[in-house]
Amino acid sequence: MDSADLRRVISSPVLTRAEQVKAMTAICAKASMEELTSNFVGTIAQNRRLPALQSMIAAYLNELSRRRGEATAQVTSAKKLSDAQLQAVSDVLKKAVGSKISIEADVDESLLGGMIVKVGSRMIDTSLKTQLQQLHLSMKGIG
């Protein structure tokens, strides 16, 4: 969740249940959400479970992907990847995994270069940061 105000509404113990429901209802209306979705969010707010909303959304999207036969890949790179680069990564992963791939791209400048790709329980780390750490550890073993 990118909005600091939304994070405060979701996690604030100071707001009453009614205030959280009212705020989330207004957000759902502003976002033109379907009635079913608005009712679900309202129920979550009424039951004081808003802090778990992001996890619920992620679990729903994972289940939706699974039912569609898609795999989700989390790709973290040192800088934002272009559309062509994302498509190239998607094509390679599709061949490796054997199913449609949905990519969640993220940027972590501390990687220096390369990328980290996670698909399910598998992870491929080609980041420069990790390679430097491995080199550092191997140099310690020599000296």
> Tens place of pLDDT for every residue, the chain, 143 residues?
568 888 888 888 888 999 999 999 999 999 999 999 999 999 999 999 999 999 999 899 888 888 888 888 999 998 999 999 999 999 999 898 888 888 999 999 998 888 999 988 889 898 888 888 888 888 887 75
Are 87 and 104 in contact, with CB atoms under 8 Å apart?
A: no
Are 51 and 10 in contact, with CB atoms under 8 Å apart?
A: yes
Strand partners of residue 100:
70
In a domain, residue 65? The reply is no
Integer Cα distance of 88 and 77 in angstroms: 14
Are 75 and 52 contained in the same domain?
A: no
Are 75 and 37 contained in the same domain?
A: no
Are 96 and 122 contained in the same domain?
A: yes
Q: Which domain holds residue 41?
A: 4-60
Total domain count for the chain? Answer: 2
Distance of CA 82 to the CA centre of its chain: 18
